[in-house]
Amino acid sequence: MEDESIQCDGCQCWLQQKCIGMTWTQYVTSSKPNLQYYSLQCIGTGKGFNLLSSLSRIAVMAPDIERMRVQAESELNSLQFYRV
């Protein structure tokens, strides 16, 4: 199986799945067209995951409940991937 890559929705950089320690299952989940993926550089504060930014990305989608739900799913995937 070839190494797959995923694009950060923040900086638009492409990252290889294996290089960032992403399992195949995580890659498949994070690659869904409606979900977003952010690299640790874009999602963090230098000290780890930025929870306030995560909540802000969800709040920006209001009042569209469906868009908020999709964004919350993206954030949940990030929390799980970065083991927060």
Give dist(CA 60, CA 49) in Å, integer. Answer: 19
pLDDT tens string, the chain, 84 residues long: the values are 457 999 999 999 999 999 999 999 999 999 898 899 999 888 876 677 889 989 999 999 999 999 999 999 999 999 999 888
Q: Which residues lie below 8 Å from residue 76, measured CB to CB, with a gap of 6+?
A: none
Domain positions in the chain: 5-81
